[in-house]
Structure 1
Amino acid sequence: MTRTTRMLILLAAVLLLGTVGAGAVLHAAHRSDMRDRQQADGPTVRAGTVSLRSAPGRRLLFRNLAWGPHRDEIATVPADRPEGPRTTSGVKCLRFHAAAGTGICLQAVHGALEDSYRAVVLDAHLRVLHRFPAAGIPTRARVSPSGHLVAWTVFVSGDSYAGTDFSTRTAIVDTRTWAIDDNLETFHIVKDGRPYRAADINIWGVTFADDSRFYATLATGGRTYLVRGDVGARTLTTLHGNVECPSLSPDGTRVAYKKRVKGASPDAPWRLYVLDLRTMKETATAEQRNIDDQALWTDDSTLVYALPGDYGSDLWTVPADGSGTARRLLTSAVAPAVLD
């Protein structure tokens, strides 16, 4: 091979690498431009101060899913202007809830080989009060009305409630002492009036009545149950069948939940229902789509929940009494909390 030939081959290689590099840059610029346009077409998002303290007017807090530098941060909007500009906090969470100046934030910790997860208790200024390791992928989070108790659920195997091959771990922490019950499966179970034990028990989706009583889902034997829990007595008592991810109304009289309905697809089995705790009467809401979320009561008559959206999830709302129609409340948002 002559020197001239070698020089021509080298020149061709340099030109080829330059073309590939330029193409990669242009492709990255195109993707960035697409993201910018997506963000420009979405809600206005700006950094600011987010507090969990009471303020004039009701506020809605949530995990912001709009594209841009503030994606996954906890954001807030006035409850009566949900599509207005979003103020973001800088605090990123996978799941979030807040009440009475206390927040619970479930986060991913990115490692060199794999991610781990943690539950972070936040004060009213979103500063870290305490961290706890979480055993798996975050899925549910709740704070008691007083802010004294927080709970979270994670998947420790599997990643969906739709099938049978999954396992959960649910914990409750007292923020006054930092005492933790890190697995509610160790509570004493009373099923159909009798003590019950089984190897296949799963507990998830805590919703608090006060600092001693809560409700949750218990699964065993291929069925699910609404259970009433007692923190001090460490008991779980079954109340009603086919209830998942309960959410207690502010007046404490009803539970919103997702119910498996006959004839639905195994991949989309749930519809949103409300259960009267005194009569055990079930009411189907007007939302006819599959619901895989723990709904939130914004007041004694209205529910908010997440459905798949263009950028992850959107928040929808529907009356709790079966009337009306479902309507979209917020785009690119999930994990809501309402602060008065």
Structure 2
Amino acid sequence: MTVRTRLLVLLSALALLAGVATASVLHASARAERRNQAPADGPRITPGRVTLTQPGRMVFRNMAWGPHRDELVSVPAADPAGPRTASHVRCLRFYAASGTGVCLQAVHGPVSDTYRAVVLDASLHERARYDVPGIPSRARVSPSGRYAAWTAFVGGDSYAGSRFSTRAAIVDTRTGALTPSLEAYRVVKDGRTYHATDVNFWGVTFAADDRTFYATLATRGTTYLVRGDLRTRTLTVLHQNVECPSLSPDGTRVAFKKRVAGLPGDAPWRLYVLDLRTLRETPLAETRSVDDQAVWRDPHTLVYALPGDYGADLYELPADGTGHPHRTAASAVSPAYVG
């Protein structure tokens, strides 16, 4: 092979490599651009003003791909699948009541992420912020807006696992007084003070009296529903096998997820409603495993998230065990009914 032939072969190889590199860059760029665009069949999302007091609205975390992914968006409560108004406020978990919101956020650092809880006013302006010791999983605000609560994983990353640790915190949004962990409260079980080194709490839900709340206590391999008292700082065990309780608007029932024997270890839950007066359980008409803290849309209907194409979709079903679940909003999680 002559020198000239070798040179032509080398130049051809370099040209081919350059073409492959250019095609790879263009392909990666196009793929990134597609990720930053909403799917053609996805919800219509436009930036605008979002408040926590606008009548007849629902606010949630938008999961649809595009420039507004993870932002709080607002839709008509009567049309959850309708056009979304985006706020530019990003949250991993969210809840709101009476013009007060709590937004759990990730703070991206050069080495690892940290997390924080931000208390929002009705216009989504920051009122206060608090460090969160791990990955956020649950958020709630009391009906009056005075108290906010959140739960974070500080060891493990799933309630389905056998080894995990959580922290549940409550803050007075008026005074800023923070209880960083419910482990500071006294636990009463079977009429006696209960002590154990393995207690975990999660899934706070508030009553309307600005004193009573409910949560999950886990200890020695069993979960319990506990009733909390913000004044006496006590937690009283009420019922076994209750996780992520959600108190009904009239304060008489708790929706929860229950571990059911015989189900897969990574999908062990079914939705139930517990009558707090009789402690009678009613299984709901959802046959899939629900790893969420359900929200009461009204006294008769529950809303909850299940895995979807872009992270999660919202479903609803009757709270009395009848009917069938149906999807109400795709690419959505952490709903709150405001106004």
Place the TM-score, normalised by the shorter chain, in its bin.
over 0.9
The corresponding residue for 1:106 is: 104
In the alignment, is residue 234 of structure 1 matched against residue 233 of structure 2? yes
In the alignment, is residue 248 of structure 1 matched against residue 247 of structure 2? yes
In 1, the alpha carbon distance for the partners of 2:65 and 2:21 equals: 26
Which amino acid counterpart does residue 319 of structure 2 have in structure 1? Answer: A
1:73 CA drift (Å): 0.2
The corresponding residue for 1:205 is: 203
Relative to 1, partners in 2 of residues 1:146 and 1:4: Cα closer, same or farther, differing over 3 Å?
same
In the alignment, is residue 323 of structure 1 matched against residue 322 of structure 2? yes
The corresponding residue for 1:51 is: 51
The corresponding residue for 2:41 is: 41
SS at match of 1:312: coil
In 2, the alpha carbon distance for the partners of 1:180 and 1:29 equals: 45
How big is each residue's C-alpha offset from its partner over 1:180-217, in whole Å with a ceiling of 9 and x where there is no partner? 00010121000121110100000000000032110000
In 2, the alpha carbon distance for the partners of 1:184 and 1:305 equals: 25
1:35 CA drift (Å): 4.2
In the alignment, is residue 175 of structure 1 matched against residue 176 of structure 2? no
1:26 CA drift (Å): 3.2
1:6 CA drift (Å): 8.4
Matches for 1:1-340 after TM superposition, within 5 Å: 8=8, 11-12=11-12, 14-32=14-32, 34-35=34-35, 39-53=39-53, 55-56=54-55, 58-209=56-207, 210-340=209-339
Relative to 1, partners in 2 of residues 1:225 and 1:273: Cα closer, same or farther, differing over 3 Å?
same
1:232 CA drift (Å): 1.5
Unaligned runs of 5+ in 2: none
1:5 CA drift (Å): 7.9
1:11 CA drift (Å): 3.1
How big is each residue's C-alpha offset from its partner over 1:150-208, in whole Å with a ceiling of 9 and x where there is no partner? 00000001000012110001110001110100010121000121110100000000000
SS at match of 1:305: strand
Which amino acid counterpart does residue 22 of structure 2 have in structure 1? Answer: A
SS at match of 2:122: coil
How big is each residue's C-alpha offset from its partner over 1:62-109, in whole Å with a ceiling of 9 and x where there is no partner? 100011100000001001111110001000000000011111000001
TM-score norm. by structure 2 comes to 0.95
The root-mean-square deviation of aligned C-alpha atoms, in Å, is 1.8
In 1, the alpha carbon distance for the partners of 2:232 and 2:5 equals: 86
SS at match of 1:268: coil
1:148 CA drift (Å): 0.7
TM-score norm. by structure 1 comes to 0.95
Relative to 1, partners in 2 of residues 1:5 and 1:121: Cα closer, same or farther, differing over 3 Å?
farther
SS at match of 1:309: coil
How big is each residue's C-alpha offset from its partner over 1:249-280, in whole Å with a ceiling of 9 and x where there is no partner? 00000000000112111111100000000010
1:23 CA drift (Å): 1.5
Percent identical: 64
1:28 CA drift (Å): 2.3
In 2, the alpha carbon distance for the partners of 1:236 and 1:336 equals: 27
In 1, the alpha carbon distance for the partners of 2:51 and 2:34 equals: 32
In 1, the alpha carbon distance for the partners of 2:38 and 2:127 equals: 36
In 1, the alpha carbon distance for the partners of 2:177 and 2:10 equals: 68
Relative to 1, partners in 2 of residues 1:52 and 1:10: Cα closer, same or farther, differing over 3 Å?
same
1:24 CA drift (Å): 1.5
CA contact (8 A) 2:147 2:171 kept: yes
In 2, the alpha carbon distance for the partners of 1:232 and 1:9 equals: 83
Aligned length: 338
CA contact (8 A) 2:37 2:67 kept: no
In 2, the alpha carbon distance for the partners of 1:131 and 1:82 equals: 29
SS at match of 2:262: coil
In 1, the alpha carbon distance for the partners of 2:229 and 2:263 equals: 34
In 2, the alpha carbon distance for the partners of 1:102 and 1:37 equals: 31
In 2, the alpha carbon distance for the partners of 1:67 and 1:175 equals: 33
Relative to 1, partners in 2 of residues 1:142 and 1:37: Cα closer, same or farther, differing over 3 Å?
closer
Which amino acid counterpart does residue 305 of structure 1 have in structure 2? Answer: Y
In 2, the alpha carbon distance for the partners of 1:306 and 1:211 equals: 27
SS at match of 1:107: strand
CA contact (8 A) 2:37 2:66 kept: no
1:30 CA drift (Å): 4.2
In 1, the alpha carbon distance for the partners of 2:103 and 2:183 equals: 22
How big is each residue's C-alpha offset from its partner over 1:219-255, in whole Å with a ceiling of 9 and x where there is no partner? 0010000000011211100000000000000000000
